[in-house]
Amino acid sequence: MTVDIDELKRLAAATAVDAVKSGMIVGLGTGSTALLMVQELGQRLQKGRLNNIVGIPTSEQSARQAQSLGIPLTTLSEQPTLDVTIDGADEIDPQLDLIKGLGGSLLREKIVASSSLRFIIIGDQRKLVHRLGTRAPLPVEVIPFAQRPVSDFLRALGSQPVIRENDGETFITDEGNIILDCHFAEIANPRQLALEVKAYPGVVEHGFFLAMATEAIVATSTGIKHFKRE
């Protein structure tokens, strides 16, 4: 049986938007599945199924999409606590630990998620892994000045760091940084690795989102699976 991944993404996105109630402050994720969620949220506002929603986008891309759909936006300065953030992930392990950042917005995503009472992850069945690092590299956001020393350090940790490009040009984040996608043969201890990477000078943030997601809504060929952190 052929699985329609786009349809699974839409199903996960629509299911997650059910958690949004009128009057909420909502974190708007970034990435292909999160964009479907923002679209669904905008449609419900336009149809009157929701009202008085205010969004905080995790990227310039999600901000532009929200504005095009008529979703009012605010900032963390105005609303420092969000009711819920809904975002995608590149990997989800059985403990609901994540690797995120292939969309290039891991820094803002982590800031917004950390400010949220609920952090709901959405995705399709491909994102479920037994161990982090199985299918996705670990993105590490780095200031451009530190590219070489950070690359050497990440290589010494056992990874193969590759500077991210877009259309043949170095990818630049919304904050003006670069991303090194780090391929590991195995990540035995994500928490220890996260501490080591974050502590190195020049590293802005990494794509480990550990003990942050409160739940995950994953669309599979057999239906929706809803996981909650124990």
* 109 is known as an active-site residue: yes
Q: How far apart are CA 15 and CA 126, in angstroms?
A: 18
Q: How far apart are CA 62 and CA 58, in angstroms?
A: 7
- Given 91, 109, 141, 205, which residue is catalytic? 109
Other Cβ atoms within 10 Å of 2 Cβ, number = 5
Cβ proximity of 40 and 13 under 8 Å: yes
Cβ proximity of 175 and 204 under 8 Å: yes
Helix and strand numbers, DSSP H then E, in the chain: 6, 15
Cβ proximity of 109 and 54 under 8 Å: no
Q: 17 Cβ partners below 8 Å, 6+ apart? A: 37, 40, 41, 44, 86
Q: Which residues are catalytic?
A: 109
